Amino acid sequence: MIRLYLKTAILAMAIITVSFSVQAQKAGGTLVYLVQPEPPTLASYVSTSGPIGLVAPKIYEGLFDYDNDLNIIPVLAETYTVSKDGKTVTFNLRKGVTWHDGKPFTSADVKFTVLQVLKKVHPRGPNSFREVYRIDTPDAHTAVFKLNNPAPYMLRSFAAYESPIVPKHLLEGKDIKSAALGNNPVGTGPFKFVEWKKGQYIRLDKNENYWRKGLPYLDRIVGRFIPDASTRTAAMENGEVLYGAYGAIPNIDAVRLKKRDDISVTTDGYSMINPMALIEFNTKEGPFVNPAVRKAISLAIDRQFMIKNIWFGYGKPATSALSSNFAPTGLYASMPNYPAGGDVKAAIAVLDAAGIKADASGVRLKGVLDLIPYGEDWRRAGEYLKQVMGDIGIKLELRYEDVPTWLKRIYHKYDFVMNINYFYQLPDPVLGVHRHYGTDQIRKGTHFVNSSRYSNPELDKLLAAGSVEADATKRNAIYKKVQIILAEDMPVVNLFELQFLTVYNAKLKGATNSAMGAYGSFSEAWLDQ
Protein backbone atom coordinates (compact mmCIF):
# COMPACT_ATOMS: atom_id res chain seq x y z
CA MET A 1 0.00 0.00 0.00
CA ILE A 2 2.83 2.39 0.76
CA ARG A 3 4.16 1.85 -2.75
CA LEU A 4 0.75 2.72 -4.18
CA TYR A 5 0.56 5.71 -1.88
CA LEU A 6 3.92 6.97 -3.03
CA LYS A 7 3.05 6.25 -6.65
CA THR A 8 0.06 8.52 -6.25
CA ALA A 9 2.27 11.19 -4.78
CA ILE A 10 4.70 10.95 -7.69
CA LEU A 11 1.82 11.12 -10.15
CA ALA A 12 0.50 14.21 -8.46
CA MET A 13 3.93 15.82 -8.61
CA ALA A 14 4.04 15.15 -12.32
CA ILE A 15 0.61 16.64 -12.81
CA ILE A 16 1.56 19.66 -10.78
CA THR A 17 4.31 20.51 -13.23
CA VAL A 18 1.70 21.04 -15.91
CA SER A 19 0.75 24.68 -16.28
CA PHE A 20 -2.80 25.80 -15.63
CA SER A 21 -2.67 27.74 -18.85
CA VAL A 22 -5.37 26.83 -21.32
CA GLN A 23 -6.13 27.89 -24.81
CA ALA A 24 -7.67 31.30 -25.13
CA GLN A 25 -11.42 31.04 -24.88
CA LYS A 26 -14.20 33.56 -25.08
CA ALA A 27 -14.51 35.54 -21.88
CA GLY A 28 -17.65 37.12 -20.48
CA GLY A 29 -21.31 36.28 -20.39
CA THR A 30 -23.74 34.84 -17.88
CA LEU A 31 -24.43 31.15 -17.41
CA VAL A 32 -27.96 30.43 -16.20
CA TYR A 33 -28.22 26.84 -14.97
CA LEU A 34 -30.67 24.69 -13.07
CA VAL A 35 -30.35 24.09 -9.35
CA GLN A 36 -33.03 21.59 -8.48
CA PRO A 37 -34.35 21.58 -5.86
CA GLU A 38 -33.51 24.78 -4.01
CA PRO A 39 -30.77 24.05 -1.46
CA PRO A 40 -31.57 24.33 2.25
CA THR A 41 -28.25 26.11 2.89
CA LEU A 42 -24.90 26.73 1.21
CA ALA A 43 -22.96 25.27 4.15
CA SER A 44 -21.36 22.40 2.23
CA TYR A 45 -19.05 21.86 5.21
CA VAL A 46 -22.12 20.73 7.20
CA SER A 47 -24.35 19.01 4.62
CA THR A 48 -23.69 17.10 1.40
CA SER A 49 -27.26 17.53 0.15
CA GLY A 50 -27.13 17.38 -3.64
CA PRO A 51 -28.42 20.88 -4.48
CA ILE A 52 -25.83 22.44 -2.17
CA GLY A 53 -23.14 20.81 -4.29
CA LEU A 54 -24.49 22.56 -7.37
CA VAL A 55 -23.55 25.95 -5.90
CA ALA A 56 -21.02 25.79 -3.06
CA PRO A 57 -18.01 24.34 -4.99
CA LYS A 58 -18.06 27.42 -7.21
CA ILE A 59 -17.40 29.47 -4.08
CA TYR A 60 -15.25 27.17 -1.95
CA GLU A 61 -12.22 25.15 -3.04
CA GLY A 62 -10.51 22.01 -1.85
CA LEU A 63 -6.85 21.12 -1.74
CA PHE A 64 -7.31 19.06 -4.92
CA ASP A 65 -9.61 18.47 -7.83
CA TYR A 66 -9.71 15.31 -9.96
CA ASP A 67 -9.97 14.68 -13.69
CA ASN A 68 -12.37 12.16 -15.20
CA ASP A 69 -9.78 9.40 -14.71
CA LEU A 70 -9.51 10.38 -11.01
CA ASN A 71 -5.98 11.75 -11.38
CA ILE A 72 -5.17 14.45 -8.85
CA ILE A 73 -5.24 18.07 -9.98
CA PRO A 74 -3.67 20.55 -7.53
CA VAL A 75 -5.84 23.41 -6.34
CA LEU A 76 -5.14 25.01 -2.94
CA ALA A 77 -2.31 22.52 -2.44
CA GLU A 78 0.43 22.88 -5.05
CA THR A 79 2.36 19.75 -4.08
CA TYR A 80 2.31 17.05 -1.45
CA THR A 81 4.66 14.35 -0.16
CA VAL A 82 4.03 11.16 1.79
CA SER A 83 6.47 9.67 4.28
CA LYS A 84 7.80 6.14 3.73
CA ASP A 85 5.60 4.76 6.51
CA GLY A 86 2.53 6.55 5.08
CA LYS A 87 1.80 8.28 8.38
CA THR A 88 2.86 11.83 7.50
CA VAL A 89 1.42 13.75 4.56
CA THR A 90 2.84 17.21 3.91
CA PHE A 91 0.92 19.69 1.77
CA ASN A 92 2.64 22.71 0.28
CA LEU A 93 -0.09 25.29 -0.08
CA ARG A 94 -0.54 27.82 -2.83
CA LYS A 95 0.73 31.32 -2.07
CA GLY A 96 -1.05 34.52 -2.97
CA VAL A 97 -4.57 33.13 -2.46
CA THR A 98 -7.09 35.34 -0.71
CA TRP A 99 -10.57 34.81 0.63
CA HIS A 100 -13.36 36.75 -1.05
CA ASP A 101 -13.24 39.27 1.82
CA GLY A 102 -9.57 39.98 1.10
CA LYS A 103 -8.05 38.02 4.01
CA PRO A 104 -5.11 35.71 3.11
CA PHE A 105 -5.62 31.95 2.88
CA THR A 106 -3.12 30.12 5.12
CA SER A 107 -2.32 26.75 6.62
CA ALA A 108 -4.31 27.78 9.71
CA ASP A 109 -7.46 27.60 7.57
CA VAL A 110 -6.60 24.04 6.50
CA LYS A 111 -5.91 22.92 10.06
CA PHE A 112 -9.10 24.49 11.39
CA THR A 113 -11.22 23.11 8.54
CA VAL A 114 -10.09 19.51 8.91
CA LEU A 115 -9.87 19.23 12.70
CA GLN A 116 -12.67 21.53 13.84
CA VAL A 117 -15.17 21.34 11.00
CA LEU A 118 -14.86 18.30 8.73
CA LYS A 119 -13.95 15.81 11.46
CA LYS A 120 -16.74 17.06 13.72
CA VAL A 121 -19.80 18.12 11.71
CA HIS A 122 -19.34 17.00 8.09
CA PRO A 123 -21.22 13.86 7.00
CA ARG A 124 -18.17 12.17 5.47
CA GLY A 125 -15.31 13.99 7.19
CA PRO A 126 -15.11 11.69 10.24
CA ASN A 127 -14.34 8.77 7.93
CA SER A 128 -12.26 10.64 5.36
CA PHE A 129 -9.97 12.01 8.06
CA ARG A 130 -10.40 9.36 10.72
CA GLU A 131 -6.67 8.64 10.90
CA VAL A 132 -5.65 12.31 11.21
CA TYR A 133 -4.85 13.05 14.86
CA ARG A 134 -2.81 16.24 14.42
CA ILE A 135 -1.98 18.87 11.82
CA ASP A 136 1.19 20.90 12.18
CA THR A 137 1.56 24.29 10.52
CA PRO A 138 5.28 25.19 10.57
CA ASP A 139 4.55 28.18 8.35
CA ALA A 140 1.64 29.88 6.59
CA HIS A 141 1.88 27.68 3.52
CA THR A 142 2.68 24.23 4.92
CA ALA A 143 0.24 21.79 6.52
CA VAL A 144 1.60 18.53 7.89
CA PHE A 145 -1.03 15.84 8.51
CA LYS A 146 -0.08 13.29 11.18
CA LEU A 147 -1.87 9.94 10.84
CA ASN A 148 -2.32 6.99 13.16
CA ASN A 149 -2.25 4.65 10.17
CA PRO A 150 -1.66 5.06 6.42
CA ALA A 151 -4.83 6.30 4.73
CA PRO A 152 -4.36 6.44 0.95
CA TYR A 153 -8.12 6.86 0.49
CA MET A 154 -7.77 10.29 2.13
CA LEU A 155 -6.12 11.64 -1.02
CA ARG A 156 -9.37 11.02 -2.89
CA SER A 157 -11.39 13.21 -0.52
CA PHE A 158 -10.02 16.70 -1.11
CA ALA A 159 -12.38 18.04 -3.79
CA ALA A 160 -14.34 21.18 -2.93
CA TYR A 161 -17.60 19.26 -2.73
CA GLU A 162 -16.14 16.65 -0.41
CA SER A 163 -13.85 18.76 1.75
CA PRO A 164 -14.34 22.51 1.25
CA ILE A 165 -11.67 24.60 2.92
CA VAL A 166 -13.41 27.30 4.96
CA PRO A 167 -12.19 30.60 6.46
CA LYS A 168 -11.10 30.16 10.05
CA HIS A 169 -11.55 33.85 10.79
CA LEU A 170 -15.27 33.66 9.97
CA LEU A 171 -16.12 30.38 11.74
CA GLU A 172 -13.84 30.09 14.75
CA GLY A 173 -15.74 30.45 18.01
CA LYS A 174 -19.13 30.18 16.32
CA ASP A 175 -21.77 27.47 16.19
CA ILE A 176 -20.62 25.96 12.92
CA LYS A 177 -23.97 24.38 12.07
CA SER A 178 -25.87 27.66 12.36
CA ALA A 179 -23.21 30.25 11.49
CA ALA A 180 -24.15 33.09 9.13
CA LEU A 181 -21.55 31.81 6.67
CA GLY A 182 -24.06 29.12 5.67
CA ASN A 183 -26.18 31.62 3.77
CA ASN A 184 -23.49 34.21 3.04
CA PRO A 185 -20.53 32.07 1.96
CA VAL A 186 -17.00 33.40 1.62
CA GLY A 187 -14.52 31.19 -0.21
CA THR A 188 -11.40 31.30 -2.37
CA GLY A 189 -13.10 30.00 -5.53
CA PRO A 190 -13.65 31.50 -8.97
CA PHE A 191 -17.06 32.95 -8.11
CA LYS A 192 -18.23 35.16 -5.25
CA PHE A 193 -21.61 34.98 -3.59
CA VAL A 194 -23.78 38.01 -4.38
CA GLU A 195 -27.44 37.25 -3.83
CA TRP A 196 -29.89 34.50 -2.88
CA LYS A 197 -33.46 35.37 -3.80
CA LYS A 198 -35.48 32.65 -2.14
CA GLY A 199 -37.63 30.64 -4.48
CA GLN A 200 -36.01 32.16 -7.57
CA TYR A 201 -32.21 32.07 -7.92
CA ILE A 202 -28.71 32.29 -6.47
CA ARG A 203 -26.32 34.72 -8.15
CA LEU A 204 -22.53 34.39 -8.14
CA ASP A 205 -20.19 36.89 -9.81
CA LYS A 206 -16.67 36.48 -11.14
CA ASN A 207 -13.88 36.65 -8.55
CA GLU A 208 -11.66 39.34 -10.06
CA ASN A 209 -8.84 38.39 -7.70
CA TYR A 210 -8.91 34.67 -8.41
CA TRP A 211 -5.46 33.07 -8.13
CA ARG A 212 -5.80 31.35 -11.53
CA LYS A 213 -5.06 34.34 -13.73
CA GLY A 214 -7.49 34.76 -16.62
CA LEU A 215 -10.14 32.60 -14.97
CA PRO A 216 -13.01 32.26 -14.67
CA TYR A 217 -14.13 33.06 -18.19
CA LEU A 218 -17.72 33.76 -17.21
CA ASP A 219 -18.73 37.07 -15.67
CA ARG A 220 -21.60 35.59 -13.74
CA ILE A 221 -23.45 32.35 -13.01
CA VAL A 222 -27.05 32.20 -11.90
CA GLY A 223 -28.55 29.04 -10.40
CA ARG A 224 -32.31 29.06 -11.04
CA PHE A 225 -34.92 27.14 -9.06
CA ILE A 226 -37.79 25.83 -11.20
CA PRO A 227 -39.93 23.36 -9.23
CA ASP A 228 -41.97 22.03 -12.16
CA ALA A 229 -40.18 19.43 -14.30
CA SER A 230 -41.94 20.31 -17.56
CA THR A 231 -41.10 23.98 -17.05
CA ARG A 232 -37.44 23.10 -16.50
CA THR A 233 -37.40 21.12 -19.73
CA ALA A 234 -39.08 23.96 -21.62
CA ALA A 235 -36.50 26.40 -20.23
CA MET A 236 -33.72 24.17 -21.56
CA GLU A 237 -35.40 23.88 -24.95
CA ASN A 238 -35.82 27.62 -25.45
CA GLY A 239 -32.33 28.52 -24.18
CA GLU A 240 -33.56 30.21 -21.03
CA VAL A 241 -31.24 27.90 -19.06
CA LEU A 242 -28.11 26.28 -20.47
CA TYR A 243 -27.22 23.49 -18.04
CA GLY A 244 -29.01 20.92 -15.92
CA ALA A 245 -27.59 17.94 -14.02
CA TYR A 246 -28.57 15.31 -11.45
CA GLY A 247 -32.06 14.76 -12.80
CA ALA A 248 -32.95 18.43 -13.22
CA ILE A 249 -34.08 17.39 -16.69
CA PRO A 250 -35.97 14.07 -16.29
CA ASN A 251 -34.40 11.20 -18.21
CA ILE A 252 -37.52 10.83 -20.35
CA ASP A 253 -36.98 14.38 -21.63
CA ALA A 254 -33.20 14.08 -21.84
CA VAL A 255 -33.53 11.12 -24.22
CA ARG A 256 -35.68 13.28 -26.48
CA LEU A 257 -33.55 16.44 -26.21
CA LYS A 258 -30.29 14.67 -27.07
CA LYS A 259 -31.59 14.33 -30.65
CA ARG A 260 -31.44 18.12 -31.10
CA ASP A 261 -28.39 19.77 -32.66
CA ASP A 262 -28.32 22.58 -30.10
CA ILE A 263 -28.48 20.40 -26.98
CA SER A 264 -25.99 17.83 -25.74
CA VAL A 265 -26.34 15.06 -23.16
CA THR A 266 -23.36 13.50 -21.37
CA THR A 267 -22.63 11.07 -18.55
CA ASP A 268 -19.17 12.63 -17.99
CA GLY A 269 -18.40 14.33 -14.72
CA TYR A 270 -19.71 11.72 -12.30
CA SER A 271 -16.80 9.29 -12.05
CA MET A 272 -15.86 10.40 -8.55
CA ILE A 273 -19.21 9.94 -6.85
CA ASN A 274 -20.20 6.33 -7.72
CA PRO A 275 -23.92 6.76 -6.83
CA MET A 276 -26.24 4.01 -5.62
CA ALA A 277 -30.05 4.28 -5.47
CA LEU A 278 -31.49 2.51 -2.44
CA ILE A 279 -34.23 2.08 0.12
CA GLU A 280 -33.40 2.87 3.75
CA PHE A 281 -35.42 1.33 6.59
CA ASN A 282 -35.97 2.37 10.17
CA THR A 283 -34.42 -0.65 11.90
CA LYS A 284 -35.41 0.49 15.40
CA GLU A 285 -39.17 0.82 15.14
CA GLY A 286 -42.04 0.33 12.74
CA PRO A 287 -43.16 -2.40 10.34
CA PHE A 288 -39.77 -3.08 8.74
CA VAL A 289 -37.61 -3.91 11.76
CA ASN A 290 -37.68 -7.62 10.83
CA PRO A 291 -34.81 -8.42 8.41
CA ALA A 292 -37.02 -11.02 6.70
CA VAL A 293 -39.38 -8.24 5.57
CA ARG A 294 -36.53 -6.21 4.14
CA LYS A 295 -35.16 -9.25 2.29
CA ALA A 296 -38.61 -9.97 0.90
CA ILE A 297 -38.84 -6.41 -0.40
CA SER A 298 -35.46 -6.75 -2.09
CA LEU A 299 -36.56 -9.99 -3.74
CA ALA A 300 -39.78 -8.45 -5.06
CA ILE A 301 -38.25 -5.43 -6.79
CA ASP A 302 -37.69 -5.64 -10.53
CA ARG A 303 -34.55 -3.55 -10.81
CA GLN A 304 -34.31 -3.96 -14.56
CA PHE A 305 -37.84 -2.58 -14.93
CA MET A 306 -36.93 0.49 -12.91
CA ILE A 307 -33.81 1.15 -14.96
CA LYS A 308 -35.54 0.63 -18.31
CA ASN A 309 -38.82 2.41 -17.66
CA ILE A 310 -37.95 5.14 -15.16
CA TRP A 311 -34.29 5.89 -15.84
CA PHE A 312 -34.42 4.91 -19.53
CA GLY A 313 -31.46 2.58 -19.45
CA TYR A 314 -29.10 4.77 -17.42
CA GLY A 315 -28.21 2.43 -14.58
CA LYS A 316 -27.16 -1.06 -13.58
CA PRO A 317 -28.94 -3.44 -11.15
CA ALA A 318 -27.40 -3.52 -7.68
CA THR A 319 -26.15 -6.90 -6.57
CA SER A 320 -24.55 -6.10 -3.23
CA ALA A 321 -24.00 -3.43 -0.60
CA LEU A 322 -20.97 -2.35 -2.66
CA SER A 323 -21.07 -1.01 -6.18
CA SER A 324 -19.76 -3.27 -8.94
CA ASN A 325 -17.48 -0.35 -9.82
CA PHE A 326 -15.25 -1.71 -7.08
CA ALA A 327 -14.81 -5.00 -8.97
CA PRO A 328 -11.43 -4.05 -10.53
CA THR A 329 -10.02 -3.60 -7.01
CA GLY A 330 -11.26 -7.00 -5.85
CA LEU A 331 -13.45 -5.46 -3.16
CA TYR A 332 -16.81 -6.27 -4.77
CA ALA A 333 -18.70 -9.54 -4.35
CA SER A 334 -22.16 -10.35 -5.74
CA MET A 335 -24.64 -11.34 -3.04
CA PRO A 336 -28.01 -13.15 -2.84
CA ASN A 337 -31.34 -11.37 -2.32
CA TYR A 338 -30.67 -9.09 -5.28
CA PRO A 339 -32.47 -10.57 -8.30
CA ALA A 340 -32.22 -8.19 -11.23
CA GLY A 341 -35.68 -9.07 -12.49
CA GLY A 342 -37.52 -9.47 -9.21
CA ASP A 343 -39.22 -12.56 -7.81
CA VAL A 344 -42.61 -11.84 -6.21
CA LYS A 345 -43.29 -15.52 -5.43
CA ALA A 346 -39.98 -15.86 -3.58
CA ALA A 347 -40.72 -12.66 -1.65
CA ILE A 348 -44.13 -13.96 -0.58
CA ALA A 349 -42.55 -17.25 0.52
CA VAL A 350 -40.09 -15.35 2.74
CA LEU A 351 -42.92 -13.40 4.37
CA ASP A 352 -44.96 -16.57 4.89
CA ALA A 353 -41.97 -18.34 6.47
CA ALA A 354 -41.49 -15.41 8.82
CA GLY A 355 -45.10 -15.70 9.96
CA ILE A 356 -46.16 -12.37 8.46
CA LYS A 357 -49.62 -13.27 7.22
CA ALA A 358 -52.14 -11.27 5.21
CA ASP A 359 -55.44 -10.08 6.65
CA ALA A 360 -58.79 -10.55 4.95
CA SER A 361 -58.03 -7.73 2.52
CA GLY A 362 -54.66 -9.23 1.59
CA VAL A 363 -52.58 -6.71 3.57
CA ARG A 364 -49.65 -7.96 5.63
CA LEU A 365 -48.06 -4.65 6.63
CA LYS A 366 -48.69 -0.94 6.18
CA GLY A 367 -46.23 1.92 5.98
CA VAL A 368 -45.26 5.25 4.47
CA LEU A 369 -42.55 5.52 1.81
CA ASP A 370 -40.73 8.85 1.95
CA LEU A 371 -39.35 10.02 -1.39
CA ILE A 372 -36.14 11.98 -1.82
CA PRO A 373 -37.37 15.37 -3.11
CA TYR A 374 -34.98 15.61 -6.04
CA GLY A 375 -37.26 15.40 -9.05
CA GLU A 376 -39.97 13.59 -10.94
CA ASP A 377 -37.96 10.42 -11.58
CA TRP A 378 -38.05 9.68 -7.83
CA ARG A 379 -41.82 10.21 -7.72
CA ARG A 380 -42.22 7.70 -10.52
CA ALA A 381 -39.94 5.28 -8.70
CA GLY A 382 -42.16 5.65 -5.65
CA GLU A 383 -45.26 4.80 -7.66
CA TYR A 384 -43.60 1.63 -8.94
CA LEU A 385 -42.48 0.59 -5.44
CA LYS A 386 -45.97 1.20 -4.10
CA GLN A 387 -47.33 -1.13 -6.78
CA VAL A 388 -44.82 -3.94 -6.30
CA MET A 389 -45.08 -3.77 -2.51
CA GLY A 390 -48.83 -4.16 -2.91
CA ASP A 391 -48.17 -7.37 -4.85
CA ILE A 392 -46.60 -8.92 -1.74
CA GLY A 393 -49.15 -7.53 0.72
CA ILE A 394 -47.37 -4.37 1.88
CA LYS A 395 -49.64 -1.33 1.58
CA LEU A 396 -47.67 1.88 1.12
CA GLU A 397 -48.54 5.54 1.16
CA LEU A 398 -46.18 7.95 -0.58
CA ARG A 399 -44.90 11.13 1.03
CA TYR A 400 -43.07 13.85 -0.91
CA GLU A 401 -41.87 16.93 0.99
CA ASP A 402 -39.54 19.86 0.38
CA VAL A 403 -35.82 19.36 1.01
CA PRO A 404 -35.53 20.97 4.48
CA THR A 405 -38.58 19.07 5.78
CA TRP A 406 -37.36 15.77 4.32
CA LEU A 407 -33.86 16.20 5.74
CA LYS A 408 -35.28 17.03 9.17
CA ARG A 409 -37.62 14.04 9.10
CA ILE A 410 -34.98 11.49 8.03
CA TYR A 411 -31.82 12.69 9.78
CA HIS A 412 -32.98 14.78 12.73
CA LYS A 413 -36.20 13.14 13.92
CA TYR A 414 -35.84 9.62 12.45
CA ASP A 415 -39.57 9.96 11.79
CA PHE A 416 -39.84 7.48 8.93
CA VAL A 417 -40.17 3.77 8.30
CA MET A 418 -39.03 3.52 4.66
CA ASN A 419 -37.16 6.06 2.55
CA ILE A 420 -35.98 5.98 -1.08
CA ASN A 421 -32.70 7.82 -1.43
CA TYR A 422 -29.31 7.61 -3.09
CA PHE A 423 -25.81 7.57 -1.65
CA TYR A 424 -22.40 8.26 -3.10
CA GLN A 425 -20.08 5.30 -2.61
CA LEU A 426 -17.09 7.36 -3.82
CA PRO A 427 -13.71 5.87 -4.83
CA ASP A 428 -13.18 3.80 -1.68
CA PRO A 429 -15.57 2.07 0.75
CA VAL A 430 -14.10 3.98 3.70
CA LEU A 431 -15.27 7.25 2.14
CA GLY A 432 -18.76 6.23 1.08
CA VAL A 433 -19.91 2.85 2.37
CA HIS A 434 -18.75 3.04 5.99
CA ARG A 435 -20.88 6.05 6.85
CA HIS A 436 -24.02 4.17 5.90
CA TYR A 437 -23.61 1.18 8.20
CA GLY A 438 -21.19 1.95 11.03
CA THR A 439 -22.56 2.36 14.54
CA ASP A 440 -20.36 5.45 14.93
CA GLN A 441 -22.23 6.95 11.97
CA ILE A 442 -25.53 7.13 13.85
CA ARG A 443 -25.13 10.88 14.13
CA LYS A 444 -28.47 12.56 14.79
CA GLY A 445 -28.75 15.79 12.83
CA THR A 446 -26.01 14.88 10.34
CA HIS A 447 -27.23 14.37 6.78
CA PHE A 448 -26.57 11.31 4.62
CA VAL A 449 -25.16 9.01 7.25
CA ASN A 450 -26.61 5.94 9.01
CA SER A 451 -30.24 7.08 9.29
CA SER A 452 -31.39 3.44 9.59
CA ARG A 453 -29.59 3.38 12.94
CA TYR A 454 -28.32 -0.04 12.02
CA SER A 455 -25.74 -1.41 14.44
CA ASN A 456 -23.78 -4.66 14.28
CA PRO A 457 -20.64 -5.00 16.44
CA GLU A 458 -19.15 -7.63 14.13
CA LEU A 459 -19.58 -5.35 11.14
CA ASP A 460 -18.09 -2.41 13.04
CA LYS A 461 -14.94 -4.46 13.67
CA LEU A 462 -14.69 -5.36 10.00
CA LEU A 463 -15.14 -1.75 8.87
CA ALA A 464 -12.41 -0.64 11.26
CA ALA A 465 -10.10 -3.37 9.99
CA GLY A 466 -10.83 -2.56 6.35
CA SER A 467 -9.90 1.08 6.82
CA VAL A 468 -6.31 0.26 7.88
CA GLU A 469 -5.53 -3.04 6.14
CA ALA A 470 -2.62 -2.57 3.74
CA ASP A 471 -2.63 -6.00 2.12
CA ALA A 472 -4.99 -6.04 -0.86
CA THR A 473 -5.90 -9.74 -0.53
CA LYS A 474 -6.70 -9.40 3.15
CA ARG A 475 -8.67 -6.21 2.52
CA ASN A 476 -10.74 -7.91 -0.16
CA ALA A 477 -11.54 -10.74 2.27
CA ILE A 478 -12.66 -8.23 4.88
CA TYR A 479 -15.08 -6.52 2.52
CA LYS A 480 -16.46 -9.82 1.31
CA LYS A 481 -17.45 -10.53 4.91
CA VAL A 482 -18.93 -7.03 5.12
CA GLN A 483 -21.12 -7.72 2.09
CA ILE A 484 -22.22 -11.12 3.43
CA ILE A 485 -23.36 -9.58 6.72
CA LEU A 486 -25.20 -6.75 5.00
CA ALA A 487 -26.92 -9.18 2.62
CA GLU A 488 -28.16 -11.10 5.66
CA ASP A 489 -29.20 -8.14 7.82
CA MET A 490 -30.19 -5.92 4.87
CA PRO A 491 -30.71 -2.63 6.73
CA VAL A 492 -30.66 -1.02 3.30
CA VAL A 493 -31.90 -2.43 0.00
CA ASN A 494 -29.67 -1.26 -2.82
CA LEU A 495 -31.68 -0.79 -6.01
CA PHE A 496 -29.33 0.13 -8.81
CA GLU A 497 -26.11 1.90 -9.63
CA LEU A 498 -27.19 5.28 -10.94
CA GLN A 499 -25.85 6.84 -14.10
CA PHE A 500 -26.57 10.54 -13.98
CA LEU A 501 -27.07 12.70 -17.05
CA THR A 502 -26.04 16.29 -17.70
CA VAL A 503 -28.11 18.15 -20.28
CA TYR A 504 -26.61 21.35 -21.63
CA ASN A 505 -26.78 23.82 -24.50
CA ALA A 506 -24.15 23.14 -27.14
CA LYS A 507 -22.75 26.67 -26.85
CA LEU A 508 -21.62 25.95 -23.28
CA LYS A 509 -18.06 24.60 -23.25
CA GLY A 510 -15.68 23.29 -20.58
CA ALA A 511 -18.27 22.53 -17.91
CA THR A 512 -17.48 18.81 -17.48
CA ASN A 513 -13.68 18.86 -17.21
CA SER A 514 -13.71 17.67 -13.62
CA ALA A 515 -14.70 14.28 -12.20
CA MET A 516 -17.03 16.31 -10.00
CA GLY A 517 -19.00 17.58 -13.01
CA ALA A 518 -21.82 19.82 -11.81
CA TYR A 519 -20.20 19.72 -8.36
CA GLY A 520 -17.11 21.33 -9.88
CA SER A 521 -16.13 24.98 -10.03
CA PHE A 522 -17.18 26.05 -13.56
CA SER A 523 -13.88 27.97 -13.60
CA GLU A 524 -13.11 26.84 -17.16
CA ALA A 525 -16.68 26.99 -18.48
CA TRP A 526 -17.27 29.46 -21.32
CA LEU A 527 -19.93 30.44 -23.80
CA ASP A 528 -19.44 30.23 -27.56
CA GLN A 529 -21.81 33.03 -28.48
Q: At what angle do helices 291-300 and 376-391 cross, to 10 degrees?
A: 110
In angstroms, the CA 494 to CA 307 distance is 13
Asked whether the beta carbons of 129 and 114 are under 8 A apart, the reply is yes
In angstroms, the CA 159 to CA 141 distance is 19
Amino acid letter at 269? G
DSSP classification of residue 482? H
pTM of the prediction?
A: 0.89
pLDDT string in tens for the chain (529-residue length): 333 333 344 344 444 433 343 445 899 999 999 999 999 999 999 999 999 999 999 999 999 999 878 889 999 999 999 999 999 999 999 999 999 999 999 999 999 999 999 999 999 999 999 999 999 999 999 999 999 999 999 999 999 999 999 999 999 999 999 999 999 999 999 999 999 999 999 999 999 999 999 999 999 999 999 999 999 999 999 999 999 999 999 999 999 999 999 999 999 888 889 999 999 999 999 999 999 999 999 999 999 999 999 999 999 999 999 999 999 999 999 998 788 999 999 999 999 999 999 999 999 999 999 999 998 999 999 999 999 999 999 999 999 999 999 999 999 999 999 999 999 999 999 999 999 999 999 999 999 999 999 999 999 999 999 999 989 999 999 999 999 999 999 999 999 999 999 999 999 999 977 888 899 999 999 999 7
Phi, psi of 476 (to 5 degrees): -60, -40
Domains of the chain are: 275-498 (3.10.105.10)
Cα-Cα end-to-end distance for the chain: 49
In angstroms, the CA 164 to CA 57 distance is 7
Asked whether the beta carbons of 285 and 236 are under 8 A apart, the reply is no
Amino acid letter at 50? G
DSSP classification of residue 172? T
In angstroms, the CA 344 to CA 360 distance is 20
